[in-house]
Structure 1
């Protein structure tokens, strides 16, 4: 039997999550029906199916997490790389927001009347833009490493 790659397991996890959500919605829609009518679907059967899908999802999540923690990449594990990527995304968002706000993006950058106060940036916009570009580069590099590893690593049992 061929080994399942981590990337394939991630796709299966996403499918199982969508399927569980669809079943949840269908169960809720069939849980009550009007007297004298026939329910559109068997809510008990849907609920049982949802339980099976969720059991499969839990198994996949456990195996994915185990694989991420045991797979070495660069100077740490895949779990470490995922944490780094998540924080780089947040950091990039903060720096970009700060640069946009300091630059006055979305606001008029000139005074219409001499009586209006001039807005002055409290942060160095050019430096923040350079920092954001560097963070975006780091993010691309980490994301590429993660994607490559997802296709190379075998899913652990």
Structure 2
């Protein structure tokens, strides 16, 4: 099995667990004389089986990520950490640019001469450029990760 297939299976298992959890919750209590919509015990047992499979998948995925070499960028785990931090950097820079540009503020400046003028404390254009560079780097890193996901075999 390829790593990408295991990642898709992990996502499916995670969704399945959430669906089972919701069904257990809705079937956990019922009024006297009525039958619950589903057998909560059976649903819990099924959730346990899916969770056991999920744990195995996560362990194998993590082992594969740590052992898969990405070249100069280190391991796949290193690339994933780098991508996560790039996304956070992009969010911070974009939020700073939006705030400095006055995005989300009502109005477009002063209505009267007596009102205070607000000024940007940050260079919006430079921040937007930096955000664009970060977005490109995120896309490139993500493409490298996706390529490796389809090439790497899942470890036991």
Same fold (TM over 0.5): yes
CA distance in 2, matches of 1:15, 1:112: 54
Q: Which residue of 1 aligns with 2:149?
A: 150
Task: State the 1:85 CA deviation.
Answer: 0.7
After superposition, residues 1-157 of structure 1 pair within 5 angstroms as 4-74=1-71, 75-107=73-105, 108-157=107-156
CA distance in 1, matches of 2:6, 2:36: 35
Superposed CA RMSD: 1.3
Where in structure 1 do 4 or more consecutive aligned residues deviate above 4 Å? none
Aligned residues: 154
Task: State the 1:95 CA deviation.
Answer: 0.5
TM-score scaled by structure 1?
A: 0.92
Task: State the 1:55 CA deviation.
Answer: 0.3
TM-score scaled by structure 2?
A: 0.93
CA distance in 2, matches of 1:46, 1:131: 49
CA distance in 2, matches of 1:49, 1:111: 62
CA distance in 1, matches of 2:25, 2:118: 54
CA distance in 2, matches of 1:26, 1:123: 50
Please say which of residues 104-113 and 53-62 is displaced more in the overlay: 104-113
Task: State the 1:26 CA deviation.
Answer: 1.4
Task: State the 1:100 CA deviation.
Answer: 1.1
CA offsets 1:48-92 (integer angstroms, 9 cap, x no match): 111111000000000011111111113211111111111111100
Gap runs ≥5 in structure 1: none
Gap runs ≥5 in structure 2: none
